[in-house]
Structure 1
Amino acid sequence: MAAIDIGSNAARLLITEVVQEPNGSTRFNKLNLVRVPLRLGFDVFETLTISEKKVDHIVSTLKAYRLLMDVYGVEHFMACATSAMRDASNSNAIIEKVKAETGITISVISGDQEASFIYENHIAENLDKDHSYLYIDVGGGSTELTFFNDNQLIFKESFNIGTIRLLKKQVPDTRWDEMKEFVKNKTKGFKEITCIGSGGNINKVFSLSKKKDGKPLPFELLKDYHKELSSFSVEERMKLYNLREDRADVIVPALSIYVSVMRWSDSKEIYVPKIGLADGLIHILHEKVKGRRAKQ
Structure 2
Amino acid sequence: MSKRVAVMDLGTNTFHLLIADGSVDNYQEIVHLHEAVKLGEGGINKGYIAPEAYQRGIDTMQQFANEINTSGAIEARAIATSALRNASNGSDFISDVKAQTGIAIEIINGEQEAGFIYQGVKISGCLSAQNSLIIDIGGGSVEFILGNIDGIIWKQSFEIGAARLMDLFHRTDPIPPASIEALNQYLDEKLVDLFAAVKNIQIDTLIGSSGAFETFAEMIEVEKGHNFDLKTTKNYNFDEDELLMLIGKFVASSHKERAANKGIIPVRVDMIVAASLITRFIMHKLGISKVSMCSNSLKEGVLAEMLGE
Aligned counterparts of 2:127 and 2:58: Cα–Cα separation in 1: 40
Residue 178 of structure 2: aligned partner: none
Aligned counterparts of 2:294 and 2:184: Cα–Cα separation in 1: 31
Aligned pair partner of 1:225 in 246, 249, 258 = 246
| Aligned positions of 1:1-40 closer than 5 A | 1-19=5-23, 26-40=25-39
Structure 1 residue 115: deviation in Å?
0.4
C-alpha distance 84-127 of structure 1, shift in aligned 2 (>3 A): closer
Structure 1 residue 176: deviation in Å?
1.2
Structure 1 residue 221: deviation in Å?
2.5
SS at match of 1:140: coil
Residue 293 of structure 1: aligned partner: none
Contact 1:134–1:146 (Cα < 8 Å) also in 2: yes
Aligned counterparts of 2:290 and 2:183: Cα–Cα separation in 1: 28
Residue 205 of structure 1: aligned partner: 216
Residue 205 of structure 2: aligned partner: 194
Residue 128 of structure 2: aligned partner: 128
Worse-superposed segment, 45-54 or 171-180: 171-180
Structure 1 residue 184: deviation in Å?
3.0
RMSD of the alignment, in Å? 2.3
| Aligned positions of 1:83-232 closer than 5 A | 83-121=82-120, 122-123=122-123, 127-129=127-129, 131-149=130-148, 151-169=150-168, 175-210=186-221, 213=233, 214-232=235-253
TM-score of the superposed pair, with normalisation by structure 1? 0.87
C-alpha distance 126-12 of structure 1, shift in aligned 2 (>3 A): closer
Structure 1 residue 227: deviation in Å?
0.6
SS at match of 2:17: strand
Aligned counterparts of 1:184 and 1:237: Cα–Cα separation in 2: 32
Contact 1:135–1:195 (Cα < 8 Å) also in 2: yes
C-alpha distance 124-70 of structure 1, shift in aligned 2 (>3 A): closer
TM-score of the superposed pair, with normalisation by structure 2? 0.84
Worse-superposed segment, 83-92 or 185-194: 185-194
Q: Indicate whether 1:262 and 2:283 are aligned.
A: yes
Structure 2 unmatched runs, 5+: 170-181
Residue 175 of structure 2: aligned partner: none
Worse-superposed segment, 72-81 or 117-126: 117-126
Aligned counterparts of 1:172 and 1:126: Cα–Cα separation in 2: 30
1:232-283 superposed Cα distances (whole Å, 9 cap, x missing partner): 2112112134434321111111111122222233221222120111111111
Structure 1 residue 178: deviation in Å?
3.3
Contact 1:84–1:141 (Cα < 8 Å) also in 2: yes
